[in-house]
Chain A
Amino acid sequence: MIGDMNIIEFVFQFLSQFDPVDLIKGFSAIGIGIAMIAGVGPGIGQGFAAGKGAEAVGRNPAKMNDITMIMLLGAAVAETSGIFALVIAMILLFANPFIAAAATGSVWVLAASAVACGISMVAGIGPGAGQGYAAGKGAEAVGIKPENKGSVLRIMLLGQAVAQTTGIYALIISLILMYANPFLQAGGKDFVMAFSVLGAGIAMLAGIGPGLGQGFAAGKGAEAVGKNPTKTNDISMIMLLGAAVAETSGIFSLVVALILLFANPLIGLSGSVWILSASALASGIAMIAGIGPGTGQGFAAGKGTEMVGIRPEVKSVVLRVMLLGQAVAQTTGIYALIVALVLMYANPFL
């Protein structure tokens, strides 16, 4: 307690003294800084790729050109999430759509949207690290059997493209918040809208999981195809299947984020603004749980892919157990989704 206000009222009063455009600029700066945290992913992933490349060249120095090409190619794809975050940061820095909308929109919604854009892009950690792992495994596979370079490259790029999807979801949510923001009108429930927007951005963080897991699967796919290029179809089928299941947590979060943005059940309700706002925020926070199932299911996909590469004749058994295990791994993600939906549609506190 500060004086006779609680901490929230104090913060609100503190922020209210600033010019609205300055507030938006300040929160945009926060969003920009947070967005660049996405660089963790590509950093780790490309570092792993570089290490694997060095190892592969050490084992097979005659094939340096092939190995380097695959490594750089995979690393450049792993860069994408960092570039997405940089693009969002650049837009917020130099062509900020929220400042332009400050005259007509609610300051709190715009400020929260700026921060949420940044938070959403942190999802890029997953794809960045995962795709880098795939690049490393691709370089390793080409070092071992350079004659299979074409097949390895195809599966690696395919798997990496799949791993990129949650990063794209995050980018889309950021762009929606910037250019198609549904909450721009002022007045009324602007705190609920502001916290909904933050919840939507935070929900996209779940994309870290599928990014990591699918990247792992892509790496295992590249490795398997390097050893056994004639079985590319079986290998890629298991890889894509497992990766698609690993995608589920990313889809759940995208659904929650889209509900919070475009079909928000909490805005129309009457009740304490604080409870409504916090519930919206909490729906997003709950979805972060998706990081776990995404990573774990991706690991399962990778190991399944590896096994099918070694023994393609056991494909159906491997597939069955993999899917069963992945379904079990999904449970905590489902719990999180249920809690988010309860907070939104059947909130016991209101």
Chain B
Amino acid sequence: MEGPKIYGEIFGFSITQTIVNTWIIMAFIFVVCYILTKNMQKKRPGNAQVIAETIVTTLDDLVGQTMGKDKMRFAPYMLALIMFLAFANIAGIIGLRSPTADLNCTVGLALMTFFMTQFFGLKSKGLGGYLKGFLEPMPFLLPINIIGEFANPVSLSFRLFGNMLGGGIIMALLYSALAGLIFFPVLIPVPFHFYFDIFSGLLQSFIFTMLSMVFISGAMD
């Protein structure tokens, strides 16, 4: 699997396969959300509405349990994050190169979490409390605490990137090996897709979101 293809340039920014696939996923999510939330009713919800409500309440419960009941305002961002990641990681099933198999994408998402952590930590503890937090529990740990803060986005981004890239490379190797054996690969790739794309993809999206929740709520307490 090579790096993402570059399709063109706009204002000095290259339009890569990652960006185009992200647009495709965004459009897909938008359509899904639109269909699920059309014609909502209070008394006799249709199937689509029930699905939408289940998704939202499940995630609300998760945010409430992990971050605390006072931090429910993060629930919309977390839902958007996990939805995007879920569909982005699974994209391998329909032949799209996952946008998350590009370090740029995962670093961008990890930086969002990082900046949210620092910003909300600063906002809820105040400048003094925030700076003092780095001297906790003992002042000589200051460099270790600083390194630890930066280690979090590094491991978040690389974990997701490595999983998706590794899965993608393995699938590419499998298909090229099968192409040598039979005319077109049938059935054999299915369990590999299930493990590398569906299982690993959903698990990693869950992990990324959960870790983001833990980091942000941890910085605010």
On A, residues with C-beta under 8 Å from B are: 72-73, 76-77, 79-80, 83-84, 86-87, 90, 94-95, 149-150, 153-154, 157-158, 161-162, 164-165, 167-168, 171-172, 237, 240-241, 244, 247, 251
- Is the beta-carbon distance between A165 and B147 smaller than 8 angstroms? yes
What 1/0 mask marks residues of chain B from 67 to 100 whose CB sits below 8 Å from any chain A CB? 0000000000000000000000000000000000
Most buried by B among A80, A95, A158: A80
B179 at the interface (CB under 8 A from A): no
Contact among B2, B65, B203 for A149, CB-based, below 8 A: B65
Residues of A within 8 A of B65 (CB): 149-150
- Is the beta-carbon distance between A153 and B66 smaller than 8 angstroms? yes
10 interchain pairs, CB-CB under 8 A: A76-B207, A80-B155, A86-B166, A87-B165, A149-B65, A158-B218, A161-B214, A161-B215, A168-B155, A241-B141
Q: Which residue of the partner chain B has the closest CB to A149?
A: B65
The complex places the Cα of A290 from the Cα of B160 at a distance, in Å, of 29
Residues of A within 8 A of B210 (CB): 73, 153, 157
- Is the beta-carbon distance between B137 and A83 smaller than 8 angstroms? no
Q: Which residue of the partner chain B has the closest CB to A168?
A: B151
- Is the beta-carbon distance between B144 and A251 smaller than 8 angstroms? yes
- Is the beta-carbon distance between B204 and A165 smaller than 8 angstroms? no
User: Known contacts A83-B166, A153-B66, A244-B144: does B155 contact A237 (CB below 8 Å)?
Assistant: no
Chain A nearest CB from B171 CB (Å) reads: 13
B138 at the interface (CB under 8 A from A): yes
Residues of A within 8 A of B143 (CB): 251
Chain B contact residues, majority secondary structure: helix
Residues of A within 8 A of B151 (CB): 161, 164-165, 168
B4 at the interface (CB under 8 A from A): no
- Is the beta-carbon distance between A161 and B158 smaller than 8 angstroms? no
Residues of B within 8 A of A87 (CB): 158, 161-162, 165-166
The complex places the Cα of A72 from the Cα of B138 at a distance, in Å, of 33
- Is the beta-carbon distance between B158 and A73 smaller than 8 angstroms? no
Query: How many positions in chain B have a CB within 8 Å of any CB in the partner chain?
Result: 35
- Is the beta-carbon distance between A162 and B148 smaller than 8 angstroms? yes
On B, residues with C-beta under 8 Å from A are: 2-3, 65-66, 136-138, 141, 143-145, 147-148, 151-152, 154-155, 158-159, 161-163, 165-166, 169, 203-204, 206-207, 210-211, 214-215, 217-218
- Is the beta-carbon distance between B203 and A72 smaller than 8 angstroms? yes
- Is the beta-carbon distance between A90 and B159 smaller than 8 angstroms? no
- Is the beta-carbon distance between B214 and A154 smaller than 8 angstroms? yes
User: Known contacts A154-B218, A161-B211: does B162 contact A84 (CB below 8 Å)?
Assistant: yes
Chain A nearest CB from B203 CB (Å) reads: 5
Residues of B within 8 A of A76 (CB): 203-204, 206-207
Rank and list the top 6 A-B pairs by shortest CB-CB distance, nearest first.
Answer: A83-B162, A150-B65, A87-B162, A80-B159, A157-B214, A168-B151
- Is the beta-carbon distance between A154 and B66 smaller than 8 angstroms? yes
Chain A contact residues, majority secondary structure: helix
- Is the beta-carbon distance between B211 and A157 smaller than 8 angstroms? yes
The complex places the Cα of A87 from the Cα of B165 at a distance, in Å, of 8
The complex places the Cα of A71 from the Cα of B137 at a distance, in Å, of 29
Chain A nearest CB from B113 CB (Å) reads: 12
Chain A nearest CB from B89 CB (Å) reads: 12
Most buried by A among B144, B154, B161, B166: B144
Residues of A within 8 A of B147 (CB): 165
The complex places the Cα of A187 from the Cα of B105 at a distance, in Å, of 40
Residues of A within 8 A of B166 (CB): 83, 86-87, 90
Contact among B66, B144, B215 for A150, CB-based, below 8 A: B66
Residues of B within 8 A of A94 (CB): 2, 169
Residues of B within 8 A of A164 (CB): 151, 155
The complex places the Cα of A168 from the Cα of B2 at a distance, in Å, of 25
Known: A73-B210, A90-B169, A154-B66. 13 other contacts (CB 8 A): A72-B203, A77-B207, A79-B163, A80-B155, A86-B166, A87-B166, A94-B169, A153-B210, A154-B218, A161-B152, A161-B214, A161-B215, A164-B151
The complex places the Cα of A72 from the Cα of B205 at a distance, in Å, of 12
Q: Which residue of the partner chain B has the closest CB to A248?
A: B144
The complex places the Cα of A80 from the Cα of B66 at a distance, in Å, of 22
The complex places the Cα of A76 from the Cα of B208 at a distance, in Å, of 10
Residues of B within 8 A of A244 (CB): 138, 141, 144-145
Q: Which residue of the partner chain A has the closest CB to B160?
A: A83
- Is the beta-carbon distance between B206 and A237 smaller than 8 angstroms? no
Q: Which residue of the partner chain A has the closest CB to B161?
A: A87
The complex places the Cα of A76 from the Cα of B202 at a distance, in Å, of 11
Residues of B within 8 A of A86 (CB): 162, 166
The complex places the Cα of A157 from the Cα of B163 at a distance, in Å, of 18
- Is the beta-carbon distance between B162 and A73 smaller than 8 angstroms? no
Residues of B within 8 A of A247 (CB): 144
Contact among B66, B141, B163, B211 for A83, CB-based, below 8 A: B163
Chain B nearest CB from A349 CB (Å) reads: 33
Q: Which residue of the partner chain B has the closest CB to A319?
A: B137
Contact among B145, B158, B203 for A171, CB-based, below 8 A: B158
